[in-house]
Amino acid sequence: MMTRREALMSTLFGAGYVGLRALATGLPAAFFLNPRRAMADGAAAAACGASKAQFIVFHTAGSGDPINANVPGTYEDAKIVHSADPAMAPTKLTLAGQATTAAAPWAALPQSVLDRTTFWHLMTNTPVHPKEPDVLKLMGSTYQGEMLPSILAKQLAPCLGTIQTQPISLGAASPSEGLTYGGQALPIIPALALKATLTSPTGPLSNLQGLRDQSLKSLADIYKDGASPAQKAYVDSLVQTQNQVRNINQSLLDQLSAIKDNSPASQMLAAVALIQMKVTPVIAVHIPFGGDNHRDLGLATETAQTVAGVQTIANLMSQLQSAGLQDQVTFMSLDVFGRTLGPGNTDGRSHNPNHQVSITIGKGFKGGIIGGVGPVGNDYGALAISSKTGKGGQGGDVPADGTLTSFAQTAMSAMGVDSATIKAQITSGTVISAALA
């Protein structure tokens, strides 16, 4: 029987741990599964690698956090309730040259980050916590009921040369936040479990240089006798030197050793490590932003968690910058629903099926506000969106109940997925061109 450690290693690095050989050599895992075919496909892989494909850190929560209560686009209507805490004071900021207002924590993000940050005012059309899987499946609008993180991963894996296609979930806080792929539930890998497995004295990072030499030796005959000059050049461009492997080994060990718990901060450390190892295209995390705050006196929890949540995003962006990954990774969020915004919400908020705010931060997106919020019944909801301008209001060609699928289609387009594939995977919605860089 497999031990827990062996099961985790197999999840991370595939059968036979071929992913470790990929990490040690710099070659895609396919080289160790079918080297002749991998070399033949090299030119196509190289072209794909130069595309818009990005790794994705994907925040999702079934708690229905009040992210939507404090972001750009919610300060134009004076009746919308915001936290009165000075830490959440309305503050001016610019998004790619667009002047707006948000709670102070958002304005504190570096300008280089804000210029790539897009706030999406969407409607998920559910007020029910356990419907989070349905929201990730875009409320029945995906091919074969696939979740958005899995759709993205499936399209991005070939371009990014990742060890596996399936997403990895680091931070699911409830069963509803678990991910599926092809209808199968995926395991949750807490940050501490990742640290324990990879940083032990006998762990996989302890002998990457030896594994590199052994792995290249096993490919030597095929490389020498079976590769064309162009294929050899492709392989040579990928193979890492011993010094590079040594640096990767120490960098990953240092980063993973800094993990102290399963908190959002530790999830970000683990996510960056998984990206550096090219394990998966999509890593799911959970960052609290106020939670299910029906009885949140003075919106105190909303305030504290929003301040901490935005700082977590800022720390992620700083880590990506330090690792030279700022142009290769996108942050994306999608929650089950948002919270009520109108008068009477000063000591807690209720579920809002009509308004949820998603966030994207990445090279493929133009910083700004997509859509808007307006009165719906006795509260507020997302407005229709113009796909050409991104503005919310009457006359938009994307109706409020089509904003969720249009967000997903636009995210795929930003990652370089072609329109035919997008339409085949997501059966409704429109690409909002105004959001694309």
pTM score: 0.89
Comparing CA positions, the residue from 57, 55, 59, 45 lying closest to residue 281 is: 55
Burial class of residue 160 (count of CB atoms within 10 Å of its CB; 0-12, 13-18, 19+)? buried
Helix then strand count (H, E) for the chain reads: 17, 15
- C-alpha to C-alpha distance for 116 and 110, rounded to whole angstroms: 10
Instruction: Tell me phi and psi for residue 299, to 5 degrees.
Output: 55, 35
CA distance 88 to 66: 13
How sure is the predictor about 40, in pLDDT bands with cuts at 50, 70 and 90?
low
380 by DSSP, 3-state: which?
A: strand
Q: Do the Cβ atoms of 338 and 353 come closer than 8 Å?
A: no
Please tell me the predicted confidence (pLDDT) of residue 49: 45
Look at 35 and 13; give whichever has higher pLDDT.
13
Tens of pLDDT, residues 341-386: 999 899 999 999 999 999 999 999 999 999 999 999 999 999 999 9
Helical spans, DSSP H, in 161-281 = 191-198, 208-226, 229-238, 242-257, 264-276
Work out the pLDDT band at 208, boundaries 50, 70, 90.
confident
Q: Compute the mean pLDDT over every residue in the chain, rounded to the nearest whole number.
A: 89
Phi-psi region of 291 (alpha: psi -120 to 50; beta: other; left: phi over 0): left
Q: Which has the closest alpha carbon to 118: 425, 431, 331?
A: 331
Residue-wise DSSP of 22-78: HHHHSS-THHHH-HHHHHHTHHHHHHHHTSS--EEEEEEESS--GGGGSSTTSSSST
SS3 397: coil
> 1: pLDDT confidence band, cut at 50, 70 and 90?
low
Summarised one tens digit per residue, pLDDT across range 296-318 is 999 999 999 999 999 999 999 99
pLDDT at 24 > cutoff 80: no
Q: Residue 256: pLDDT band by 50, 70, 90 thresholds?
A: confident
Phi-psi region of 278 (alpha: psi -120 to 50; beta: other; left: phi over 0): left
pLDDT value at residue 277:
83
Instruction: Provide, rounded to the nearest whole percent, the portion of the chain with pLDDT above 70.
Output: 87
Note the CATH architecture for domain 53-190+262-435. 3-Layer(aba) Sandwich (3.40)
pLDDT band, very low/low/confident/very high, at 278 (cuts 50, 70, 90): confident
For residues 209 and 177, give the distance between their C-alpha atoms in angstroms, rounded to a whole number.
Answer: 38
Q: What is the pLDDT of residues 408-436, one digit of tens each?
A: 999 999 999 999 999 999 999 999 999 99
Kindly list the domain boundaries of the chain, sorted by start residue.
1-50+197-261, 53-190+262-435
Q: Please state, in angstroms and rounded to a whole number, the distance separating the CA atoms of residues 56 and 333.
A: 10
